[in-house]
Structure 1
């Protein structure tokens, strides 16, 4: 099954997003990662790499990020990791929910889960 990693500059925000997404797909491995390692705001490539390893069961991981530097650090983590992973270009919360649901499908692939995460850009809230 495709794993999911949620990267936020705030560890608390990442955990909250994962909590919501996990309600929709409790069998999917979704790992939160965030903060600068000292309790502050930021992201750390080594922490992201650890989350990739924890979420992966061999089928790869989708990574959702909140802000620009999280993309850079996620890219570094993916390069350091042995896990096949891609970053979705979509909203982190809605994308995580869409991805989690998509990952439960028997024919889910890394690409199909990424597509669903990115499709969340078009969700109307009103």
Structure 2
């Protein structure tokens, strides 16, 4: 069976650039400013492990939105191995993405294309809604 990754888009509020983590009764609480994030959830839909080497959003000019990492507690470093049917959610700050689009001269009505790339070079893509709809 060939490798397969199902990609879904996510939009949510999360911690801003400044946050503190408070551990209480084995529960992690994130305290700080709220920021809007756009992310993708990649799920290994195959029956074998898949090694993910990178992820992100492609731009129409064949470039990528880069330099907008999110630093949540517990975020793993790449590469990461996804067991069968395991998922990983990854996100970028919507404000930083908007700035990257503007600097690249790309209108915010452009559909987002999320991708997850395997270590073997296989890239899985999904076209989402226009950026301004998130």
TM-score bucket (shorter structure)? under 0.3
| More strand per residue | 2
| More helix per residue | 1
**TM-score calculated relative to the size of structure 1:** 0.26
Structure number with greater Rg is 2
**TM-score calculated relative to the size of structure 2:** 0.25
